[in-house]
Amino acid sequence: MNSNIREKQGKIASFVGIIVNFILAVAKILVGVLFGALSILADGLNNLSDSASSIMSLISFKLSSKPADKEHPFGHQRLEYVLSMAVAFLILIIAFELLKESIGKIFNPTQLEFSFIIVIVLIVSILVKFGLFFYNRSVAKKINSEILRATAVDSISDCISTTAVLIALIVGKLTGINLDGYAGIFVAFFVAFAGIGVLKEAMSILIGQAPDEQMVDDIKGRILAHKEVLGIHDLSVYCYGPNKYFASVHVEVDASVDVLESHELVDNIEQEFFENTNVVLTGHLDPIVVNDQVVNEMRVKVASLVKEIDEKMTIHDFRMVQGAHNTNLIFDIAVPYETKLSDEQIKDSISQKVKMLGSYKVVCKVEKQTV
């Protein structure tokens, strides 16, 4: 998606969030103060924090759209994740303050005055927040915005917490039991839960989480669509912000083909990604011997033995080098991160299996990969 269009749609969603949440916050805070309802006051403060979050979103879309410069050659889009973390900390601070006030309300309860005005305000708030949830989720999906996705999750959690406040109010009216403080605690914990979720997601992306499986499949499919490509391995994808990815991959080609021709193939693949996707791809040329029957047969046998250890393991860069007493089988093993075997256990296991084939010595390197 064009960065200008993304920024415009993100700003509109942020403005909507600022205005709607501010109106809800004012209404709830006034009602909470007038009728002495701490849980409603707490819910209003939560909406006020949502308005502040939308302001952060607005700032985020403005700053992250700045073009790359000398100090930041990959652009500024990761600022969206940094500001998402700031929003999360703001939410957690408010949750902590609400929790303290609510506990105090339990030990020092005050009479809660029931009013249909409160009921109307809470019902309207629930309906409006449901609408914001669907709106923010739709825009977030359209422009791939982590901060709007977090806002959508926060909106649905607000619906649940406001519903809890409404139930507590009605139960208190019917039974005479004051649940205001307990409802406030529920709201505080729900707000904190939402804040922790936003914080974890933003931190995970900044640390460098694994790429989406669909994206990996799309990258592999686009490369393997070229009939000259025999295979790929060591695919790594790096996220530098929403819709901004860099990737590197080893492209296997026939070693007998002229190197300039193969190099042109990789150049064309890189250019294709640049023009048609949001991935900047760097390909590494990896010549493979395909016309040596002995090497090909041994490659298949070793690959099969590796599969016996773990079905998800694969081999690449396979070579055979004749030594004085043994033939060295040199290759890399791609291992999924979830395997419970150590590198040495994998090497020992494959060495034992290969010994059964003859006078061969395994010289292999174990590589943890997500693909």
Q: What angle do CA 240, 241, 246 make, to 5 degrees?
A: 35
| Confidence check: pLDDT of 143 > 70 | yes
Which uninterrupted H or E stretch holds 80?
Answer: helix 79-107
What is the reported pTM?
A: 0.64
Task: Give the closest residue to 169 by CA, choosing from 129, 107, 116.
Answer: 116
Pairing outcome for strands 314-322 and 279-288: unpaired
| Confidence check: pLDDT of 311 > 80 | yes
Distance set, CA 74 to CA 31, 71, 163, 228, 234 (Å): 48, 9, 44, 31, 22
Q: What is the pLDDT of residues 96-132, one digit of tens each?
A: 877 887 787 788 776 666 678 888 888 998 999 889 8
- Helices (DSSP H) in 208-253: which residue ranges? 213-224
Q: In what order do the strands lie in the sheet with 245-254?
A: 231-239, 245-254, 279-288
Task: Give the closest residue to 77 by CA, choosing from 89, 62, 55.
Answer: 62
Stronger pLDDT, 87 or 344, i.e. the higher one: 344
Q: Are 25 and 44 in contact (CB under 8 A)?
A: yes
